[in-house]
Amino acid sequence: ENKKFTTVSFFNSRLTSVISIALVLFLLGLIFLMGLMGDTLSRFVKENITFSVVLKDNIREAEVKRMQKRLEAEPFIKSAEYISKEQASKELEEELGERPETFLGFNPLQASLEVKLNSEYANPDSLQLIEKKIKTYTNVSELLYRKDMMEIVNDNMKRIGIILLTLAVVLMIISFVLISNTIR
C-alpha cells in the first residue's frame, strides 16, 4: 500500500508541475500578445493625432495644392487634407449651431491643412524638427497641435511596455524554476 501511495503522489506532483508550467507559459503568451496589440494600438493613435497648418489669408488655391503635394511627399507625413475657410466655417456652424458670420459679420477662420504624421515621427523630438521645417513655408501662418497629448501617448506606451516587460521577465523566471524543479 505504501508503494501505491508513492505512485499516486508521484503522478499528482507531475500533473501539478505540468499544469503549473502550462499556465505560466500561457500567461507569458498572453503578455506577448498584449504587447503586440498595444504596439498596434499605439501606432493607430499616433497616426490619428492631427495638427493644423494654418495658412495665410491671401494664399491662392493653386499654391495650397502645391504645398499639400510637397507636404505629402515628405517621409514624416501620412496625409494632408485641405480645409478651406468656408469648410471650416461650416464645421464650426455644426458644432455651435450658428454661423460665425451672423454674429461677427465676417468669417474669422483661416484655411488650413490638417496633417497626420506617420507613427515613427509622432514623438516630441521629431515634432520640433517637423514644426521648424513646416514653418519655413512662406504661406504658413502658424501650426496648431496638442503637444501635451503626444507626450501623454508616448509616456503611457512606455509605462505599459515596462510593465509588460517586467511581467514577462517574472513569468520567464517562474517557468524556468518550475521546469528546473520538474526535471530534478
List all residues 6 or more positions away from 9 whose beta carbon is below 8 Å from its beta carbon.
none
Does residue 179 register a pLDDT over 60?
Answer: yes
Q: Given the C-alpha cell 502658424, which residue does it identify?
A: 142
Distances in whole angstroms, Cα of residue 146 to Cα of each of 10, 59, 80, 87:
62, 25, 17, 22
- Identify the pLDDT of residue 183: 72
CA 152 to chain CA centroid, Å, is 10
**Mean pLDDT of the region 50-60:** 80
φ/ψ of 58, rounded to 5, equals: -85, 10
pLDDT confidence of 132, banded at 50, 70, 90?
A: confident
- Identify the pLDDT of residue 107: 65
- Identify the pLDDT of residue 147: 74
**Mean pLDDT of the region 109-121:** 81
Q: Using alpha carbons, select from 166, 74, 71 the residue that is nearest to residue 112.
A: 71
CA distance 179 to 93: 66
**Mean pLDDT of the region 30-40:** 86
**Mean pLDDT of the region 36-61:** 81
Beta strands in the chain (DSSP E): 50-55, 77-83, 112-117, 140-144
How buried is residue 145: exposed, middle or buried, by Cβ count under 10 Å (0-12/13-18/19+)?
middle
Distances in whole angstroms, Cα of residue 46 to Cα of each of 36, 43, 82, 85, 101:
15, 5, 20, 27, 35
User: To the nearest whole number, what is the mean pLDDT of the chain?
Assistant: 78
Q: Using alpha carbons, select from 107, 73, 114 the residue that is nearest to residue 90.
A: 107
Question: In this structure, are strands 50-55 and 140-144 parallel, antiparallel, or unpaired?
Answer: antiparallel
- For the ranges 67-76, 121-130, 135-144, the maximum mean pLDDT occurs at 67-76
pLDDT confidence of 168, banded at 50, 70, 90?
A: confident
CA distance 145 to 139: 18
Q: How many percent of the chain have pLDDT more than 70?
A: 86
- Identify the pLDDT of residue 103: 65
Q: Using alpha carbons, select from 111, 108, 131 the residue that is nearest to residue 121.
A: 131
pLDDT confidence of 18, banded at 50, 70, 90?
A: confident
- Identify the pLDDT of residue 144: 77
pLDDT confidence of 85, banded at 50, 70, 90?
A: confident
- Identify the pLDDT of residue 102: 66
- Identify the pLDDT of residue 8: 62
Does residue 129 register a pLDDT over 70?
Answer: yes
